[in-house]
Amino acid sequence: MVTFYGENISSRMLLGTAQYPSPAVLAEAVKISEPGIVTVSLRRETAGNNAGGEFWELIRALGVKVLPNTAGCHSVKEAVTTAKMARELFKTDWIKLEVIGHHDTLQPDVFGLVEAAKILIDDGFKVFPYTTEDLMTGEKLLQAGCEVLMPWCAPIGSAKGPVNPDALRSYRAYFPETTLVVDAGLGRPSHAAQVMELGYDAVLLNTAVAKAVDPIKMAKAFAGAVSAGRDAFEAGPLEPRDMAVPSTPVIGMAVFDSP
């Protein structure tokens, strides 16, 4: 169980709802993996030809907590406006805040992110900011009133996994009391287990499941990996060593003299 803004969520896996081959596959992926939260883009909801309304009906039928996002926004004004529209539509003050700064890497504009977070928090939003692993940006977001930080481990959709594990480890150590979610760049279940072993509270993924050959089976695999990674962290895994250490003690072993 993980807590976001005072609300207990049953699963440490958050799942995006875009790019699935069909609504039926999305529904089955959510059913089998039991994510605590699903993220939904306002742009998908407001699509033409009533597609958005049908999609929203599907999401509500899943019975999972919804986290709207400002995906695709490239300015503070656009992100704030989208967040306010999402609050009206989805009837929640939770928002995953994205302010994209670079078209190729989709890296967040951290300056715009902090500015937008301040505006939204002052307006009563509970902000989940998609950010980098930069420590000072994290501090500024917390000072703005964010209670959750969501650093990437690689660019959105890249499937590279943790490209800088040391930075993620430092981020966790620097913000020991903050709820941290690794968001973006996870490609394999082993990547999810790896960041959970570092002590992160949850992961958010989308493309790695939606674009898999079998999204339903991949969703199940990720759910298991997230749970295993958290169990490993709580169990206290051994740190790497420079030398071999025998698992069987040599003290007390029989010694045979040669004739």
Question: Which segments of the chain are extended strands (E)?
Answer: 2-4, 7-9, 13-16, 37-41, 65-69, 94-97, 126-131, 148-151, 179-183, 202-205
Q: For the CA atoms of 148, 42, 183, 80, what is the dihedral angle to 10 degrees?
A: -50
Q: How far is CA 117 from CA 62, 85, 138, in A?
A: 29, 16, 12
Catalytic residue among 77, 91, 96, 126: 96
Q: SS3 of 240, please?
A: coil
Q: How far is CA 138 from CA 97, 133, 165, in A?
A: 14, 8, 17
Contact 219, 1 (CB under 8 A): no
Annotation marks residue 96 as catalytic: yes
DSSP code for 237: P
Distance between CA atoms of 240 and 253, rounded to whole angstroms? 27
So which residues are the catalytic ones? 96
